[in-house]
Amino acid sequence: MREHLYWKFVLTFLIGVLGSLILSYYITTRIAGDVADYEDELSEIKQGVIHVYQLAGDEDKEKIIPILTDLGIDATVQSVDGLSHALTASEINQLLTETTDDHFVIKDIQRLTKDMYMMIDPEIGEVLHVHIDLSDDLANRRQLMIRTLMFVLVSGSIFILFASRYFVKSIKKLTVAAKEVTRGNFDVDLKTEREDEIGQLMVSFDEMIQTLKSTDESRKAFVSNVSHEIQSPLTSIKGNTKAIQDGVIHPEDEAKYLAIIYQETDRLSRLSTHLLKLQSLDDDHFTLNKQTYRLDEQIRSIILTTAPLWQAKDLMVNVDLEPLSLELDEDLMELVWINLITNAIKFTDVGGTIDINYYLEHDRRVIRIHDTGRGIPEDKLPYIFDRFYKVDDARSEKNAGSGLGLSIVKKIIHLHDGDIHVVSDHHQGTTFFVRLKKY
């Protein structure tokens, strides 16, 4: 039981309250001087009785009794002969002596209890006995104080029991949610109307769960896509290899099937390279290796490198780039231009055109890559930068890819605080706009 936060909360409160009550009682009864106050009050009552006694004449002594009784003071008339058990012989003699100042005797019974003996009629030996006891008043006051403190303790305990349930209920809800998330269940409800720290914690925890849920869904989709991308070439490689081993393939056709195996192996290699590149780019600690270089020369170099590809399709490539120096990560930007230019070549039909130029837009340099290829359907445009996404028209053995190229391009551009945008008309062509900082 002590391990539960609820009971720790309750016990801590009770210990604190109980300690406070004990300290309050001690301060009230010991430091506040309540006994001394009663002693002062007792002294005042004693002096008052003596004063009344001295003011009364011999004939009015008996009238003192109803006055004192009305004031709540115990006063009785006794015979002097019956006081031998309460007074000494000298004290009785003091009462019987006809003096003005000492015609009474005061005895201390306890600290707050006194007996006063005053002569009323010396001839018949009548004595006024006044009993003053304030100890009961003090005891009653302390009992009332204890009852009040106990009431505060009980009512406070009941309050904290319910208050603790209110606070701990949300924490228990968080605990259950955490256990469900640990099991892989992200469908938990942590909606709350609380606006205090616990409410903020629940909102933050819910946001974390939604992020984990999205990440988990992305991970599952990623694993599924990678498995699919790997499975297809592996099946082709396995089938063709088996056919060659079993002699099903005619020796004259082996070269063709070996070329297919090589093509699928190269496809797996490119997939592996892209996955490793994405992993490094997604690393929170990834840093760009920026340096100033000629961007126009880099793009022209890639055009020359890919010349066999676009010349084989008899494409016209127009490059209109003036000298342009920017501070960028040269190696990463090379991947950007390779992906965009090879895609333009891949999806442009024989005899088509590719135009590459740039212009200034506010504080951005815009690199424009336009092709007259087959274009991208409008409903596909929002997804072309998603990982493993492939436009249906592009899914052919000839143009097979991993679906990671454009996602790598977008990631690199964003790491440079840039932006990439695409405009396309189906069967009319596609234009990519890469916006980079001017300086």
Burial of 407 (0-12, 13-18, 19+ CB in 10 A): buried
* DSSP H or E stretch at residue 198: helix 197-245
Residues in contact with 275: Cβ distance below 8 Å, sequence separation at least 6, in sequence order = 226, 404
What's the token pair of residue 13? 């409160």
Reported as a pLDDT band with limits 50, 70 and 90, residue 363 is confident
- If pLDDT is split at 50, 70 and 90, which confidence band does 2 have? very low
Model pLDDT, residue 34: 59
- What is the full DSSP assignment across 162-189? HHHHHHHHHHHHHHHHHHHHHTT-----
**E-only strand ranges, 82-193:** 104-110, 113-121, 126-133
**pTM more than 0.85:** no
pLDDT digits (tens, 9 = 90+) for 135-174: 767 677 777 777 777 777 777 777 777 766 766 777 777 7
Interacting residues of 292 by C-beta distance below 8 A, sequence separation 6+: 325, 326, 327
Residue at 268: amino acid letter: L
Q: Are the CB atoms for 327 and 291 separated by under 8 Å? A: yes
Token pair of 127 as six digits: 């004595």
- CA–CA separation, 109 vs 352, rounded Å? 125
Q: Kindly report the average pLDDT of the chain as a whole number.
A: 76
Could you tell me which residue, 138 or 372, shows the higher pLDDT?
Answer: 372
pLDDT digit string, tens, across residues 307-327: 888 999 999 999 998 888 899
| Residue 121, helix vs strand vs coil | strand
The predicted structure's pLDDT at residue 6 = 55
Work out the percent of the chain whose per-residue pLDDT is above 90: 11
Could you give the CA distance from residue 314 to residue 319 in angstroms, rounded to a whole number?
16
**Position 370 confidence tier, pLDDT thresholds 50, 70, 90:** very high
Place of tokens 């309750």: 10
pLDDT at 433: 95
Give the per-residue pLDDT at 168. 72
What is the Cα–Cα distance from 429 to 423, expressed in whole angstroms? 9
Mean pLDDT of the 206-226 span? 74
299 CB-near residues (< 8 Å, 6+ apart): 319, 321, 337, 341, 356, 367
pLDDT at residue 393 in the model: 41
364-371: strand order across its sheet: 316-320, 353-361, 364-371, 429-437, 419-425
8 Å CB contact between 91 and 115:
no
